[in-house]
Structure 1
């Protein structure tokens, strides 16, 4: 049923795409040095600290900059920082910023901006909170220097400052960094390679990011999020389209240059075009799908009810229903930390075997008595298809399910409430889910984070993981944390897979990355 849903949507959208393209082209869209892009969704939340949404992170990496950054091998490299020193006892870290950096309003980047930005960011992020708890002081040392003094050694200082996981520790100008943590910034001013054009922003239609002429790139070659970010086009136009099939048709018609997520039932059609190339990724750049559960409201405030779901998800069936070709998906993966990854483990997964009959019997032994499960679904997405498969299985096991369809922006708004929803389906970049420190639904255990799952043993073990000195000790701790996570059930994985991006052959210099990155890209 789900496959035919995708097919009908593709045909309907394909037939109307050319007509729609004339409505979605903003002024100047065919400028030779403008990239016309369709990303995973519209950028709804512009404050990079206020959400873990990947689209806000993508926006953030083009507008803002970071002190350190991850390269393609997963190593942390200097970015805004020129260098640092560490005391013999590893408690005092002294950093120096690169000279000449400016914000988009023309003001110079200073150590005050850095200190205030980190102070605003740390409470928002699981790793940030660890750094906050480990540090004694964070102070400026002149215009370009700042000093971090720790209460105890914390081996992950640079990993935290260079983390690619949302919310990212982007650096804001002082006046914006002073914005209270529970309020969104009112201007979008960064020091990154592109600047936001509020006069060319039409919510629901498009936004324009313009080359920042005063950006000073590093001298090193570009390498994932690290190295020199040299902008070779004048602007980026981020288009909003009704669905992925409309985007694919616009790509074939040369209305856009790049589409982040290609509909799987359009792959063969796109591969036949001499003007289109597909970007297929593996390893750390695959995705992990999850059903996130709300522990703050019935029925999933009951751990016994939550655990029933482990018997209702068969990953291969979900990925087949979405239409993901076999070459783009991983086998059944029981690991919260991704499969074929450094911390892959099967710990705790012994009872997570698909069986509707066993799930029905297990549910009957709980206190569940038909309370509605409010399932938020992103209309027209592969996440919705994953949800449809689970909904059928849940109903067969005895759950009462109320499906509510909406766009992703509405899901983000709804999930911020503790009531009015039970679960939603989502998928995340693999680089975000590789360890207990970064996995959205494990790292935020016992934090004020949508879903509000809590087992106090997990944060304690996660701190041990952060302080572990050997790989063997970290491996042991990841297994122990996963056993607790299976019992807690903050989320249930629905599969590991790749979504290919597509771009016109007129583009060159695209990074091999699941993060859409448009510095160093040229357009012929």
Structure 2
């Protein structure tokens, strides 16, 4: 079936190229064409933490610091910084030449407004906000961050490339309600969003920002010089994997950001195609419940999810051969710096009897539960089908609802009751760079209204997360992480479904893809 779909798609792509004729052949080589994993629906990377919006945000916005390939923070918009002897005052000076796409200079007023908005939405931003006494502008280029108590991870937080990124926006945009996504897309980054050519469901266009002044250091992950080597990047929305595979093989696109693993052997057999990985850590798969409404406002119902599900069934359904995936019950990524499965040993195999017992004790009476998903990302759609089947066996009444991924991503932010456009469950994948730390793991943030979609709420978890931040050394931090993990295994903010390696595919004439938490499009050139 896969071979037939691919053959048909190849014929279709060839016909398209013949139909466009000279236009396709004369297309400039300095346009990079990419098939992203999903369509872009939300433009605000502070209001939404979905990956496609974060990729968009990193194209057009910048952050004060940036993580290098080893996830270590380096100055980006910041020229210099210093701390007081008591570590309660941080001074930051912006580098010269920072300018928004509308021509306005970036000032510390924009920075302070942006950081306040980010602190109201993001996991690590919220934690930094708890430590913050206040911020003040000394002048247009220098501002002061004052803390209530020392926090050594300030640069790490300000350079975050995960969750809701600390994008520096114009003050007028940043002053808006952090719960409502802005519709403007004007940053100071190396690309400009081309709104005129944006076609929802079909095409997203970014043009090189001719006014952008990159740093002088070599590119290193998100850090260093963001030198754009193409005139334009076009995201061509191709939800059907066979169509994307055919487009890559015929040269209609240059990069397929997330190729379906079942098609990797075929596209790898093409001499002009290279399949590689750019992230240093595997991605995590998870089943997220909505904590606002029954039954998942009760931890027993959430714990039932862990006993009702077999990671291998999900991972095989989503990613095929086991060479691409790994069982793992660590909230913080097996093989990562904080990887531990302490407290979660009992979830290695499903226990339906235990799941049914816990579900009954939670007070669940068989009400329909909305499990939302999309086949726009086939692996997620297939795993949602596995979830529906597994949970029904345990006594959950699952209503599996499919729509496009943009709608799912938007619906994630809806706090209404499940019967009123809200939801109960969804399956998703999140990069390992996001999930590897208690500071950045969006799912283990249980700060109630400030938490990620699902709005997990547990005061003890937040106390234990704070203990990780306050740990004086690595040994103490490791012990604090293990204590936190034991508690998370009991309250189950979400069900960990394992982890997988997501490759990307490129044409052989494309070079310069950087190792980073998300795919970046500066430093790439077409040879």
- Fold shared per TM-score above 0.5: yes
Q: CA deviation at 1:165?
A: 1.3
Corresponding residue number in structure 2 for 1:167: 164
Aligned to 1:257: 254
**Corresponding position: 1:414 with 2:417:** no
Secondary structure at the aligned position of 2:165 is classed as coil
Q: How far 1:64 moved relative to its partner? A: 0.6
Contact 1:209–1:236 (8 Å) recurs in 2: yes
Alpha-carbon contact 2:59-2:189 (below 8 Å) kept: yes
Counterparts of 2:207 and 2:455, CA distance in 1: 38
Find the residue that maps to 1:463 and give its secondary structure: helix
Q: 1:282 to 1:39 in 2, by over 3 A?
A: closer
Name the structure 1 match of 2:440: 438
1:496 is paired with a residue of what secondary structure?
strand
Counterpart-to-counterpart distance in 2, 1:23 and 1:145: 56
How far apart are residue 231 of structure 1 and its match? 0.6
Provide the residue aligned with 1:478 in structure 2: 481
Kept in 2: contact 1:36–1:239 (CA 8 A): yes
Distance 1:409 1:282, change over 3 A: closer
- 1:13–1:243 CA contact under 8 A, matched in 2: no
Partner of 1:385: 382
Q: 1:88 to 1:260 in 2, by over 3 A?
A: same
Seen in structure 2, the aligned counterparts of structure 1 residues 10 and 310 have a Cα distance that, compared at 3 Å, is farther
Deviation of 1:438 after TM superposition, in Å, equals 1.0
Give the paired residue count. Answer: 517
2:78 equivalent to 1:75: no
Q: What are the equivalent positions in structure 2 for 1:246-395 lying under 5 Å apart?
A: 246-281=243-278, 283-284=280-281, 286-330=282-326, 332-352=327-347, 353-380=349-376, 381-395=378-392
> 3-state DSSP class of the match of 2:346?
coil
- Compared with structure 1, are the counterparts of its residues 9 and 451 closer, same or farther at alpha carbon in structure 2 (3 Å cutoff)? farther
Residue 88, structure 1, aligned to residue 104, structure 2: no
The 1:9–1:447 alpha-carbon spacing in structure 2 relative to 1, beyond 3 Å, is: farther
The Cα of 1:399 is off from its aligned counterpart by: 1.9
Secondary structure of 1:277's match? strand
Contact 1:360 1:397 in 2 (8 A): yes
Q: Cα offset for 1:427?
A: 0.1
Q: In the alignment, what sits opposite 1:520?
A: 523
Give the gaps of 5 or more residues in structure 2.
none
Deviation at 1:351, TM superposition (A): 2.6
Q: Distance in 2 between matches of 1:83 and 1:460?
A: 33
Q: Please list, as runs of the form range in 1=range in 2, the aligned pairs for 1:439-458 lying within 5 A after superposition.
A: 439-448=441-450, 449-458=452-461
Distance 2:82 2:293 in 1: 48
Equivalent in the alignment of 1:33: 30
* Residues 82 and 97 in structure 1, CA contact (< 8 A), matched pair in contact too: yes
| Equivalent residue, structure 1, for 2:205 | 208
Q: Tell me, in whole angstroms, the C-alpha distance in 2 between the residues paired with 1:523 and 1:477.
A: 47
**1:504 is the counterpart of 2:507:** yes
Q: What is the CA-CA distance between 1:66 and the residue it aligns to? A: 0.8
Moved more, 498-507 or 388-397: 388-397
TM-score for the superposition, normalised by structure 1 = 0.93
Choose 65-74 or 357-366, whichever is displaced more: 357-366
Q: Shift in Å at residue 275 of structure 1?
A: 0.4
CA shift, 1:18, in A, is 4.9
* Per-residue CA distance 1:379-405 (angstroms, 9 max, x = gap): 252012112222222222222111101
- Tell me how far apart the structure 2 counterparts of residues 328 and 351 of structure 1 sit (CA, whole Å): 24
For the Cα contact (< 8 Å) 1:299–1:372, is it kept in 2? Answer: no
Query: Match of 2:98, SS?
Result: coil
2:491 matched to which residue of 1? 488
Alpha-carbon displacement from aligned partner over 1:70-99 (angstroms, at most 9, x marks no partner):
011121100011111111111111111111
TM-aligned CA deviation for residue 469 of structure 1: 1.4
Rounded Cα–Cα distance in structure 1 between residues aligned with 2:17 and 2:483: 52
Question: Matched residue of 1:327: which SS?
Answer: helix
Q: Secondary structure at the match of 2:195?
A: strand
Are the aligned partners of 2:45 and 2:164 in contact in 1 as well (CA < 8 Å)?
yes
Query: Residue 427 of structure 1: which of 406, 426, 429 is its match?
Result: 429
Cα separation, 2, equivalents of 1:79 and 1:54: 21
1:7 deviates by: 7.7
Q: Which residue of 2 aligns with 1:400?
A: 397
- Measured on the aligned residues, the alpha-carbon RMSD in Å equals 2.3
Is the alpha carbon distance of 1:16 and 1:356 closer, same or farther for their aligned partners in structure 2, counting shifts above 3 Å? Answer: farther
Kept in 1: contact 2:283–2:431 (CA 8 A): yes
Contact 1:294–1:423 (CA under 8 A) maintained in structure 2:
yes
Asked if structure 1 preserves the Cα contact closer than 8 Å seen for 2:295 and 2:362, the reply is no
In 1: Cα distance, 2:351 partner to 2:132 partner: 48
Instruction: Summarize the Cα distance change of 1:492–1:102 in structure 2 as closer, same or farther, 3 Å threshold.
Output: same
Q: Is 1:111 the equivalent of 2:108?
A: yes
State which drifts further: 367-376 or 230-239: 367-376
| 1:99 and 2:96 aligned | yes
Give the CA deviation at 1:34.
Answer: 0.4
Cα 1:425–1:140 shift into 2, 3 Å: same
- Stretch moving more, 163-172 or 477-486: 477-486
Cα distance in structure 2, aligned partners of 1:242 and 1:383 = 12
Task: Return the offset for 1:452.
Answer: 1.8
Secondary structure of 1:311's counterpart equals: helix
| Structure 1 residue 233: Cα displacement | 0.5
**Alignment partner of 2:242 out of 221, 242, 245:** 245
Q: Is the 8 A contact 1:507 1:521 kept in 2?
A: yes
Shift of 1:23: 10
Q: TM-score normalised to the size of structure 2?
A: 0.93
